[in-house]
Structures are given as structure tokens and as C-alpha cells.
Structure 1
């Protein structure tokens, strides 16, 4: 009976993966390749209107540029696009020219014409710069040595200038509070990417291990197993309601990363932590009426934000697939069924009039907010689709 149930779950999962992959390759990537880059002034647009034209007057956050570079480099590496190399190289040149500060870090916001209008340090932006560099190194092998050197220089500067006395990194100098788990999550992701491809993975392995241990000892509450967002300077929860925030999407995203890290390190405590994070996300973070992951909880698992956004659905999908891959028997079937649920939730957000776009917000009313489409979400969507596509190949 179990074999039959697993076979049905796997077949349904395969159908969902095929549907999402077709949407990405046939609709989303061609559209964003065509209208998502400013071919007059340079740089990726921040948003596209639901009618399919770019929002040309938006200021451009630094984090969007490396996210889009990653997307097109990853798609190009899978031969999903033809002329991707020129686009990612143009995008990376614009990103470095516009956002790089004199101290080797990247600023935060530029105008549409390419003038830096906010050069403040944000750890989140540095994490995505490292992440984009890792995928450029893999997708354009002749530039690997250069990209690896740039990445090592940036990681070294972060450790020199912003290392926290205990572990992880601070948000500024002097210390800007609260400290945050979220940028560490993306640093963790970047370190794992570099660990898999660097000529010398040593610094990336050490940094990944440091962040994983910080997550399991500080970010994750020892009593509940939930991962918090905001912290005081000593990594204790930040005072007030902000220190109580638990985001379901980040429970799933950290579960995905800790599963990967725990499996690579043969660390059962990390797998157990990941499974608990996933359990919290499923039991407390999914709206039964809308069947989607909503944004926020407090540490007692009461709801702090009922709005559902697109990106947590992708993290539910990635975590489900990652845990299915390392599980057996009934557990594997369970996680595959969760992946199917997550894919269904994601596809709701993708059902726009123009194929290849998406809705970002679903309020409790059940009616999507009609607003320009944020480019930043393509990173979440593409990464989740490629993760489940890879998982499916290993499960078959």
C-alpha cells in the first residue's frame, strides 16, 4: 500500500514540476529577458506592470540586481536561454559600477539613471552579491577565477569590518540594531553555493558552519524550535514585539538550508531542527481557507500578519522537496504531498492575465492586490523550480 501511495504522490509531484518548469521556460524567462532589463541606461528594472511593460521610474534596490543576474545565469547554465551571457555580463558590470563603494562593499539604492542615492551598508546586499558571483563562476567558467577572487575579497572585508564578537555579522558600524537572522540566511546560501564550486572551499565551509551553528544556538528558540527574526547585540531576542516575530516563510527557507547543510555534514541535530521548523510552518503558518502560507506569527504562534505573499510559497516547496529527498517510507510520501500543496499555492500567484508575471500579495479577502510585479520574486520562483526539478530527477 505504501508503495502505491508513494507512486501516486511522486506522479502528482512530477506533474506539478513539469507545469512550473514549462511556465518558467516558456513564459517567465522570455518575458523578463525581453522587458526586464533597461537596454537604454543599464540595470534590471525593479518592477514590471501587470500589462507587461517596465516601471521605468522606480528607484532600484541593490539586492534586485544580483538576484536577476543569478536567475539568468542559472537559466543559461541549464540552456533555457540563448543570449543570456551578454545580459548577465551587462547586468553585473552595471551593478559593480553603480553600487560598489570605495571600501569594497555595495550600497543600497540607485536612481533609474544609475546614480547611487543611498550608499548605506546592508548585510543583505552583500550576501546577494556573493550569491550572484557564485553562479557567474559556474555559468561562465572562463571567469571563475576572477569571480572567486572578488567573492573572497568581499567575504574577507565582511569578516574584518563587520564580524560579530560571538558569531555572524553586525548590521553596521557603529552597531545598528536590531541584528537580523535574514541576511545570515542568504549568506549561508551563498557560502553553500561557493563551497560546492570554489577552487578552495575552506573559507566558505568555515563560514557556512559558523552560520549554521549560530542559527541552531541563537536564532532558533530552544523551547519551541521556532526561528526568530530580530535580535539584540548579544543575539538575545530584541525587546518588544519585533523580538517575537516568527515568519513562516523563513521557517521553511531555513529548513531547506539546514537540511542541505545537515545532510552534507552528517549532522542529525540540524536535520531535526529543520524538520521542526517545517512542522511549525505547516501547522501554524498556512491559512486553511486560502491554502497559502501567510507572512507572520508571534513566538506563541498567534498570527501577526495575515497577508500572504508569493515568496513563502516557494520556500514551502523547496523545503518539502529537500526533506523528501533525505526521507524514506511514509515520511517521504508526506513531504512529497506537502510539495504538491506548495506547488498549488504557488500556481495561484502565477495565474495572471499575461503569462510569465505574478501577483505578490494575497490579503485575507482572497483577492490579489493588483500592482506592479516585483522583479525580486523571480529569484524565489526560479530557485524553487530548479530545486524541485533536481529533486524529481533524483527520486525517479
Structure 2
């Protein structure tokens, strides 16, 4: 039996997670189904303004891909209404407007002039892969051709942009900087496809292992334990004022990915190192990247732990939740589990004020260092962060809880779609 502290931690966690899930199902999902989907011109709107009305901007691959993930995941969180229709709608736009002839994805598509922006961006490729994997897992029989599409993109990336040592270039001919962030999302996509293939596809396994190795050997700075952002063409921290730039949100996100991978492949030679690195970056992110007075994760620090940007965007709050959920799952003792649950609960409590917006289902994108909300449109891209964290949160259940993610989520609100 868990001790009283652990039982209280589970209770506090469940209450916070339930309030968040209720907001998503009753406010966010209805808003973005009604106003975030462009049924006339295709795809999804990039932003909603202060009144909840769509903002007309070019449709980026990353946003179409993220919204595909959102609508493919909504049934797991308790609302399957129109999921197939919305996924088919988004996938059609992704394939017809954003997929290039060589198998890569364009950066964006402009509805004014009906033209694609053919600029190559590794970040867009990562989310294209992630969307294809998410949709395939949503309905394998309906989308049986997506594994081949994803494999074609992977092969194109390897032959056209593979780095001679490890990872990927970001342009041809190669130019600095190389960025850690697109490689993080490539790891997220590779893990998605590794799960989809049941771990039986060696190409995805190899990509996962390569990106984990890249993180542990090149991206993590040994002295601080933090992942930095920008590198030269030999994977050395880029000289200059941004050499030590580290984002707390990315420490949490990398930590979550590494802990998840180590749990899936505990016998891999790098698993123990990955766990150790992940725990260190999560704890460093918590120690130096949280403003206790506001209860939020800030935008940027440096490898010495000094604050570089005290503003606090929404998305790092969601990554903080995911990181501490992973820490709770990895906890070796009741005390460590209780601590991780308390931290995860605090992270949800840090997120919830962002979701109290004049437009029900929208959110504030950024909290200023002065404690005031910064006036911005609501970005569709942030919904991916919210939903991904909520999916992770709903997968964390007390011991001896047998309900599946989908059953538990649906039961919590009676599968409400109002």
C-alpha cells in the first residue's frame, strides 16, 4: 500500500489533471473544430485572433502536421466526434499541397497565389514524419500507405541531408548553425514510428539510436548537463553570445524523450546513460528555469544557470508536465514517485492560468516577466503541446489501475463532446 504522502500526491495529481482535461474536451476541442479548420480552402488555420476568429496566414507543414496529431489523438482523450473527417481533411492538404515531388515537405503553402514555399527545413520534415506516424496509428487499415510514404521521406533525408558524422545537415550546401531542436523532434517522430512498427523496423530503430547518441555525445554539454541550441558544422557549440543558450522547455522535452526511450529499451547499452542525463537535465531545468514567484518555466537560461529570457511562453509549461510524468514513471521509491507527482501537479497548476482566456478554448501564449499577459493571437501550433502533454498525463495511473488511456479518459467525462 502506498504511504500517505504518495496517496495524497496521487489525489492532487488526479484533481489537477481532471480539470485540465475537462477544459480541453469542453472548451478547446469544440473551438478548434469550429474555427480552426478551413473547410473551404483546406488545411487548418494558423492562429485565432482575440475574438476567436481565424487569421489568414500561409499554412506551414508543422501546423498542419500538429493539428493532424491533435485530431487523431482526441479519441484517446475522450472525444471521437468527427475524428476521421478531420484527419482525412488535414491529411489531404498535407499530401496535395505540402508534399514535394522528391518526398520531402515544403515549408508552407500560401493560399493567396496558390503556391508552395519550397524552402527545406528539417523542423518541417520532423513534424511531417510525426503526423504520418500519428495518423497511421490512429487508423492503420485506412492509412495503410503511410509507412511507405514515411520511409521514402526518411531515405531522402538520409541521402540528401545526412551529416557525415551523425545527425542531419539543415541546408545544401551545408551552412551553420546546426540546431538541436529539429533533431529532438526527429527523435519524437522516430519513436512514434518505432512504436507503430512494434520495434520491428530496423530503419526506425537505427534512427532512434542515432539521435539518442547525438544527444548524449554532442548536444548535452558535459559541465552543465544541459542541451544547448546552436552548433557549428562539426557539432561544437556555436561561438558567440548564443553559445551557452539553453531553453528550460527543451531540457524537459529532451528529458521526457530519453526517459521514455530508456524505459522501452532498458537493455540497450546507452539506456543507463540516457536515464542519468535525462534526470540531470530535468532537475537542472527545474532548479534554474522556474520562476517561483509566477510558478512557471521561463524561456531561456545559459549553461551557468543565469536567466537569459524571463518571459514564459505556454509551451514550456506543457513540457515540464511531461518531464515530471516520466520521472514519476521512473521513480524507484515511493518518496521519489511522490516528489515527481507533486512537481507534475505544480506544472499543471502553472499551465492552467494560460488557459483562462476571454475566448473559451483559446489561451494566452506568453506571460511577461512583469507578470502580465503579452497580447498575441492564439497559435494553433500550441495545441499540439497541450494535447501531447495531456495524452502523457492521462497515461499516468496509480498502481493497480487497469483502465486503458482511452477508457479512463472517456469515463472521466462520459465521453462528452459538448
Q: TM-score, normalised by structure 1?
A: 0.96
Q: In 1, distance between residues paired with 2:22 and 2:141?
A: 30
Residue number among 366, 371, 376 corresponding to 2:376 in the alignment: 371
Please tell me the root mean square deviation across aligned C-alpha atoms, in Å.
1.6
The corresponding residue for 1:295 is: 299
Seen in structure 2, the aligned counterparts of structure 1 residues 99 and 368 have a Cα distance that, compared at 3 Å, is same
Residues 76 and 85 of structure 1 are in contact (CA less than 8 Å); yes or no, is this contact kept in structure 2? no
Residues 77 and 391 of structure 2 are in contact (CA less than 8 Å); yes or no, is this contact kept in structure 1? no
Residues 351 and 358 of structure 1 are in contact (CA less than 8 Å); yes or no, is this contact kept in structure 2? yes
Give CA-to-partner distance per residue, 1:267-314, whole Å, 9 cap, x none: 121111111011111100001221100101122111111110000000
Residue number among 360, 383, 392 corresponding to 1:387 in the alignment: 392
Could you tell me how far 1:9 is from its partner in structure 2?
A: 0.7
Q: In 2, distance between residues paired with 1:156 and 1:364?
A: 44
The corresponding residue for 2:406 is: none
Give CA-to-partner distance per residue, 1:4-55, whole Å, 9 cap, x none: 0111011000001111111111111111011101111111000011312111
Seen in structure 2, the aligned counterparts of structure 1 residues 4 and 131 have a Cα distance that, compared at 3 Å, is same
Could you tell me how far 1:142 is from its partner in structure 2?
A: 1.3
Q: In 2, distance between residues paired with 1:136 and 1:322?
A: 24
User: Do residues 159 (structure 1) and 164 (structure 2) align?
Assistant: no
The corresponding residue for 2:336 is: 331
Q: In 2, distance between residues paired with 1:273 and 1:395?
A: 30
The corresponding residue for 1:238 is: 238
Q: In 2, distance between residues paired with 1:309 and 1:298?
A: 17
Residues 123 and 183 of structure 1 are in contact (CA less than 8 Å); yes or no, is this contact kept in structure 2? yes
Residue number among 272, 285, 292 corresponding to 2:289 in the alignment: 285
The corresponding residue for 1:198 is: 197
Give CA-to-partner distance per residue, 1:326-346, whole Å, 9 cap, x none: 112211111111101100111
Deviates more, 1:353-362 or 1:210-219: 353-362
Residues 253 and 323 of structure 2 are in contact (CA less than 8 Å); yes or no, is this contact kept in structure 1? yes
Residues 41 and 113 of structure 1 are in contact (CA less than 8 Å); yes or no, is this contact kept in structure 2? no
User: Do residues 348 (structure 1) and 366 (structure 2) align?
Assistant: no
Unaligned runs of at least 5 residues, structure 2 = 402-418
The corresponding residue for 1:39 is: 39
Q: In 2, distance between residues paired with 1:257 and 1:201?
A: 19
Q: In 2, distance between residues paired with 1:334 and 1:7?
A: 12
Q: In 1, distance between residues paired with 2:352 and 2:111?
A: 31
Tell me how many residue pairs correspond in the alignment.
395
Residues 255 and 279 of structure 2 are in contact (CA less than 8 Å); yes or no, is this contact kept in structure 1? yes
Could you tell me how far 1:243 is from its partner in structure 2?
A: 2.1
Give CA-to-partner distance per residue, 1:88-107, whole Å, 9 cap, x none: 11111112222222221111
Q: In 1, distance between residues paired with 2:230 and 2:328?
A: 30
Q: TM-score, normalised by structure 2?
A: 0.91
Which protein has the bigger helix share?
Answer: 1
Could you tell me how far 1:359 is from its partner in structure 2?
A: 0.5
Could you tell me how far 1:385 is from its partner in structure 2?
A: 0.6
Give CA-to-partner distance per residue, 1:187-210, whole Å, 9 cap, x none: 101111111112642211110011
Unaligned runs of at least 5 residues, structure 1 = none
Q: In 2, distance between residues paired with 1:329 and 1:386?
A: 24
Q: Matches of residues 1-396 of structure 1 in structure 2 within 5 Å?
A: 3-55=3-55, 57-78=56-77, 80-113=79-112, 115-198=114-197, 200-266=200-266, 267-327=271-331, 328-392=333-397, 396=401
Q: In 2, distance between residues paired with 1:113 and 1:74?
A: 31
